[in-house]
Amino acid sequence: MSDYSELPVLPMSIRFDHAAGTLSPAGPTLTRRMSDLEGLFLDQDAWLSALADGDPIVYSVVSSRVPEIDRELPQSITTIQPGVTGGEFWMTKGHQHPNHQGEIYLGISGSGGLLMFDGTSTNWVDMTPGTIGYIPPGWAHRSVNVGKEPYSFLAVYPGGAGHDYGWVLEHGLGQRVCTENDGVVFRDYFTGARP
C-alpha cells in the first residue's frame, strides 16, 4: 500500500475521440430534456409549448470514469442540440461551483458560447473548435448553442467543486443569449430588455 496515493482511483487511459465527441471508457451519462429546464427560459409560455411538443432532449453530458470527488480532476463532454425557445438559444442550466474553483471548456464541434457571471459582471466567450474557455473561480457559467448543428465541448473540472444550480435561479446570469435577424443578441436576464 502506497504512502502517497489513495485508492480507489488508479491511473487510467481515456480515449478522447475528437471527431465522434466521445470519451472511452465512459462513465455516467446525464440527459437534460426541456422539462429539466423549468424556470430557465424567460418566455414561460414558449417553454410550456416546447414541453408539450415532445419534451425534446436539449443536451447530454457524458462523463469519464474519474469520479467527482475532492482532489480528482474529472472530465466530460457536453453536447447541446440546436434550437430556439421563445427567442432564446438552447443552453445548459448553468451553475456556480459552491467550492469556488476554476474550470476549462475546450470547443470540439459546432458553434457555441460560454456565458459567465460573477454576480456583477457578465462575460461571453465565443466557442469554436480549439477554443479553451477559462472559467475563473466564482464565476457561474452556462453554455449556449448559437449554431444550426449540435455544439460539443470537453470540460475539465476539479472533482470537489460541486454544482449549485439554484444559484442561477436566484442570481441569474446577467444576460440572455437570443436570436434576432439570424444573429446573436444579448438581453437583460430578468427583463429581457436590450442591455
What are the backbone angles phi and psi of residue 141, rounded to the nearest 5°? -150, 150
DSSP class of 51: H
Residue 81 or 101 having the CB closest to its own copies: 101
- Widest Cα–Cα separation across the chain: 63
| Distance (Å) of CA 113 to CA 12, 71, 178, 183, 189 | 30, 28, 12, 13, 16
Number of residues this chain uses to bind its own copies (CB under 8 A) = 54
Segment lying near its own copies (by CB under 8 A), choices 31-39, 54-62, 84-92, 119-127: 119-127
Smallest gap, in angstroms, from Cβ of residue 59 to its own copies?
A: 21
Is there binding between residue 28 and its own copies (CB under 8 A)?
no
Tell me which of 62, 77, 91, 106 binds its own copies, using CB under 8 A: 106
Half-sphere exposure of 136 (CA within 13 A, CB side): 6
Pairing of strands 151-156, 103-109: antiparallel
CA distance 145 to 131: 14
Site string for its own copies, 83-102 (x = CB under 8 A): -------------x---xxx
Residue 54 or 130 having the CB closest to its own copies: 130
Residues 6+ apart with CB under 8 A from 116: 122, 123, 124, 125, 135, 139, 140, 141, 173
What are the backbone angles phi and psi of residue 166, rounded to the nearest 5°? -65, -30
Tell me which of 25, 28, 39, 136 binds its own copies, using CB under 8 A: 136
Is there binding between residue 157 and its own copies (CB under 8 A)?
yes
Residue 30 or 69 having the CB closest to its own copies: 69
Smallest gap, in angstroms, from Cβ of residue 94 to its own copies?
A: 14
Residues 57-86 that bind its own copies (CB under 8 A): 64, 66, 71-73, 75
Is there binding between residue 121 and its own copies (CB under 8 A)?
yes
Of 39, 30, 16, residue with least CA distance to 59: 30
Is there binding between residue 30 and its own copies (CB under 8 A)?
no
Site for its own copies, rule CB under 8 A: 1-6, 9-18, 23, 64, 66, 71-73, 75, 96, 100-104, 106, 114, 116, 118-121, 123, 125-126, 130-140, 156-159
